[in-house]
Amino acid sequence: MRVLVAQPHGMCSGVARALRIALGALAERPGETLWCFHELVHNEHVVAGLRARGARFVDDLAQVPRGARVLFSAHGVSPAIRAQAEARGLEVVDATCPFVGKVHAEARAYAAQALPIALVGHKGHDEVVGVLGEAPERIRVVETRADAEALRADFPDAREVAVLSQTTVSQDMVEARVADLRALGLAPRFPDRRDICTATQERQDAVRALAREADHILVLGSRNSSNSKRLAEVAQTAGCPATLLAGPDELDALDLSGVRTLGLTSGASTPEELLDALRRRLA
């Protein structure tokens, strides 16, 4: 079997940066718990490694002792969470990815212009929840056509809509939702640079190119990792069967008979060691 690896693949600059910040904070005060609000990144291996070094993960700041240190993940948080941290006297270590910070700034700018804002993304994802919190009265998460219709119903007099997106969705998804909004009589306004981050875009382009050569593509990444799921979808949309694997152990359950050229890629939160382990197992 020929094995081709997509370039680029794997860990992005935002996740690597968040990890450096977390490891630096742990090393700075050995023995002290570093409280992390939500998973630092959506990868269970990375999260387990941090836990072993003294990090504790919580989904509610009320669980963090007053005055303790709390780390905000690469996915960012809403202003309400920042205010809650301040009210509890928490020392914030902020690992929000700059690409996510940019979407927050855009949301504030459009909200100040009193425009309705369509945030194309996945409901409930940490990043989306954080951006939504910038202006909950003006932002609507638009994941489906029905969501676009609901936005239209909430802003019946609007002629324009600002369009923002989660950094890790596919361009196809953004285009589909923009078409829905146009069909509902709303003229889209975009930020100067679109929100899908460079890392996501480059990894999606690489997997699309790989789909032309491979008979099957394996995407290594956690099942709750948005960008990993998108990579599998992009491969499938390009006509190549694709499977999302959480780790090399899951390889044994796969039927790859008949596959002569296998493509590999990994999500933006997947450590390179895991891909190396998968390659060794394949060999």
Q: Counting contacts by CB under 6 A, is residue 231 touching ligand SF4?
A: no
Using the contact rule CB under 6 A, the part of the chain among 94-102, 139-147, 246-254, 255-263 near ligand SF4 is 94-102
Residues touching ligand SF4, count (CB under 6 A) = 15
Instruction: Give dist(CA 168, CA 170) in Å, integer.
Output: 7
Is residue 13 involved in binding ligand SF4 (CB under 6 A)? yes
What gap in Å lies between CA 86 and CA 65, rounded to an integer?
13
Q: Find the residue with minimal CB distance to ligand SF4.
A: 14
Which DSSP category does 233 fall into?
H
Q: Which one among 25, 71, 97, 217 touches ligand SF4, defined by CB under 6 A?
A: 97
Q: Which of residues 151-170 bind ligand SF4 (CB under 6 A)?
A: 167-168
Cβ-proximal residues to 17 (8 Å cutoff; 6+ apart), any chain: 74, 95, 97
Terminal Cα distance for the chain, rounded: 9
Contact 58, 37 (CB under 8 A): yes
Which C-beta is closer to ligand SF4: that of 40 or that of 245?
A: 40
12 binds ligand SF4 (CB under 6 A): yes
Cβ atoms within 10 Å of 174's Cβ, excluding its own: 23
Q: Give every CB contact of residue 1 below 8 A, 6+ residues apart in sequence.
A: 256, 259, 260, 261, 262, 282
Q: Which is nearer to ligand SF4, 193 or 260 (CB)?
A: 193
Contact segment (CB under 6 A) with ligand SF4 among 58-66, 77-85, 93-101, 148-156 equals: 93-101
Q: Which of 174, 158, 166 is nearest to 103 (CA)?
A: 166
Most distant CA atoms of the chain, gap in Å: 61
Q: Quick one: which of 184, 188, 186, 185 has its CA closest to 175? A: 188
Site for ligand SF4 in 181-200 (CB under 6 A): 197, 199-200
- Could you say which of 127, 134, 143, 233 is catalytic? 127
Q: Which residues, 33 to 72, sit near ligand SF4 by CB under 6 A?
A: none
Distance CA 12, CA 269 (A): 7
Query: Quick one: which segment of 8-16, 44-52, 172-180, 237-245 binds ligand SF4 (CB under 6 A)?
Result: 8-16
Nearer to ligand SF4, 77 or 181 (CB): 77
170 closest CA partner among 130, 210, 197, 146: 197
Residue 227 lies near ligand SF4 (rule: CB under 6 A): yes
- Provide, rounded to whole angstroms, the least separation between the CB of residue 33 and ligand SF4: 24
Binding to ligand SF4 in span 249-268, by CB under 6 A? 268
Return the bridge partners of 218, or none. 243, 264
* Among the listed residues 6, 15, 118, 217, the single contact to ligand SF4 using CB under 6 A: 15
Active-site annotation holds for 127: yes
| Structure-block tokens of residue 59 | 């989904």
Q: Which is nearer to ligand SF4, 181 or 234 (CB)?
A: 234
By the rule CB under 6 A, 130 interacts with ligand SF4: no
Of 138, 126, 143, which is closest to residue 189 (Cα–Cα)?
Answer: 138
Residues identified as active-site: 127
- Residues at the site binding ligand SF4, with contacts judged by CB under 6 A: 12-15, 74, 97, 99-100, 167-168, 197, 199-200, 227, 268
